[in-house]
Amino acid sequence: MDWKSIPTVKEAAELSYLMWERGWDEANGGNISYLLTDEEAESLGYVPGTGRTIELPGVPDGVRGKYVFVTATGSHFRELKDNLDELTGICYIPEEGDCYEIAYGLENSRPTSEFDTHLAAMAVRLAADPEQRVVMHNHATSVLAMTHVAPIDEKEFTLALWRVITEAMVLFPDGIGYVPWCVCGGKEIADKTLEKMRDRRIVIWGYHGVFTTGKSLHDAFGLLETVNKCCEVWLTAEACGHRNPGIDDKGLREICDTFGLTPREGYLTC
Ligand SMILES: [Zn+2]
């Protein structure tokens, strides 16, 4: 099977263009990775050991033997759908060794420079829920704007968003992880992000962007849309004087009871 015929690859191309249209992936901002299902991986018929091998120290055990679709380093999301061969590809993570193989695509290129963080995040999310297979990073505008205005405290940040619209609690009862600004691309920010991803699906980087995870690309994208919408409404309300308090703790608890959700422990007062 041609790797570009995998429905998820087409979805990634369409969604990346959509995200660019929304202004969330300016220039080369943003990256996506997707862990192929066993059926998708088998359909490729790749022979391990035949691809371009690239060193990568610290490959997490949780993704060994797996195939990962990933966007290329420096790729522009507005161009991705028209150049899958160079701007995306599928990597095979061998059972042993500090390396991975480029099985398909990524011609004249390499995966995102955050590939090690993506793999580690996938392993962390898989340990929490075996259905999780997507890591998505971008610069969603309202989320970024909110990091300039809202409290820099993940509990207060989460509560602010939960109070905005009913859907917030439904989509992310486990809350939002918040990493205050630090230079990206290093071990410090990666470690902090992974720690928060152990029991959350969203991590916001102050003054930079947001990571969402999910069972599918549309799942992770829907979560991102919801978070961005909440931030947008919160910012608009703030600009208008924020006269009403939003959904109180009792109301948030009612949402959880109605939909069978467990809110993050210690966040609600009732
Ligand atoms: Zn970024």
Q: Provide the pLDDT for residue 235.
A: 97
Cα–ligand 1 centroid distance for 35 (angstroms): 20
In the predicted model, residues of the chain with pLDDT beneath 70 are none
Determine which one of 114, 131, 167, 232 is catalytic. 114
Alpha carbon of 139 to ligand 1 centroid (Å): 6
C-alpha 138 – ligand 1 centre gap (Å): 6
Kindly report whether the global pTM for this prediction surpasses the value 0.75. Answer: yes
Percent of the chain with pLDDT over 70: 100
| Per-residue confidence (pLDDT) for residue 3, from 0 to 100 | 96
CA–centroid distance, residue 76 to ligand 1 (Å): 12
Whether residue 42 lies in the annotated active site: no
What is the pLDDT, as a whole number, of residue 210?
96
pLDDT of residue 227: 97
Q: How many CB atoms neighbour CB 21 within 10 A? A: 11
What is the 188 CA–ligand 1 centroid distance (Å)? 15
